[in-house]
Amino acid sequence: MKVDQSIPGFIAPKTMVRSDQTAREIFEQTINNPARKRFGFGHKVAIVNVDLQKAYTSGEFPTSYQTDPRQIDYIDRISAQARAKGLPVVWTRVSYMESAADAGVWGTRTDTPDSLQNIKLNSRRGEFDDRLNIDPDVDAVYTKHMPSAFHETALQSLLIWHRVDTVVVTGGSTSGCVRATAVESLSRGYRTVVPIECVADKHESYHFANLTDLSLKYADVVAVQEVFDWLETYRPDEQ
């Protein structure tokens, strides 16, 4: 229906902003804005490491990608710090049954050897990166089938049991499963933190555009050093 713009008091909506800036430049401008308000860390943190599996991190598959070359080292350090303080550390990976029936409609977009639904259970593509130090006796490990780490996993129950109020999200991809996890984290009432050096995507435009959007709406997008510093000062006996 056409809106009659002659109606008294009618104000035309603003048109979408257009810019010649790159996604990286817009992100840097956003993140360096001193007026940008944060949610901040709460009282207790959980580290949720999303899909750090060989399909996406090893370099041996076309679907793998890297943004910061020290991403895995940083994530390992965050996880070790949290574990040492008795804080929950979670690892997710995505993989599917042989028929891929558990991929749902998400698995129908393409069907190539590199397609998502062809990451099979117990396959090399579904294995965690060998550089990671995962403690199976302490850390929670979930297999997921959809973008968010919360979807049909026990993550929410784990966070409630540990009385967590802040979720630090690492992994990949920034525009996919990291974003989905961060948005759902906020939606479930958690302060959400995304350390810049700990997330990656296949193209810098997707990566930085989504970091900008996360920073503006859903999460605190911060340097990884801020997470190191918070974990260093955390005292379990004070909780």
Domain positions in the chain: 42-238
**pTM for this entry:** 0.93
Poorest-confidence range of 10-14, 91-95, 100-104, 201-205? 10-14
Give per-residue pLDDT as tens, 104-120.
999 999 999 999 999 99
Band of residue 13 on the pLDDT scale cut at 50, 70, 90: confident
pLDDT of residue 9: 76
Domain 42-238, what fold?
A: Rossmann fold (3.40.50)
Whether 59 has a pLDDT exceeding 70, the answer reads yes
Mean pLDDT score, 90-114 = 95
* Three-state helix/strand/coil letters over the chain: CCCCCCCCCCCCCCCCCCCCCCHHHHHHHHHCCCCCCCCCCCCCEEEEEECCEHHHHCCCCCCCCCCCCCHHHHHHHHHHHHHHCCCCEEEEEECECCCCHHHHHHHHCCCCCCCHHHCECCCHHHCECCCCCCCCCCCEEEEECCCCCCCCCCHHHHHHHCCCCEEEEEEECHHHHHHHHHHHHHHCCCEEEEEHHHEECCCHHHHHHHHHHHHHHHCEEECHHHHHHHHHHCCHHHC
Q: What pLDDT, on the 0 to 100 scale, is given for residue 11?
A: 80
Q: For residue 1, is pLDDT > 60?
A: no
User: What integer best gives the mean pLDDT of the chain?
Assistant: 94
The catalytic residue among 50, 164, 169, 177 is 177
Concerning whether 198 is annotated as a catalytic residue, the answer is: no
**Whole-number pLDDT of residue 239:** 58
Is the pLDDT confidence value at 238 over 80?
no
Q: pLDDT tens-digit profile of 21-31?
A: 999 999 999 99
| pLDDT, tens only, 177-231 | 999 999 999 999 999 999 999 999 999 999 999 999 999 999 999 999 999 999 9
**What mean pLDDT do residues 35-56 have?**
96
Confidence of residue 3 (pLDDT cuts 50, 70, 90): low
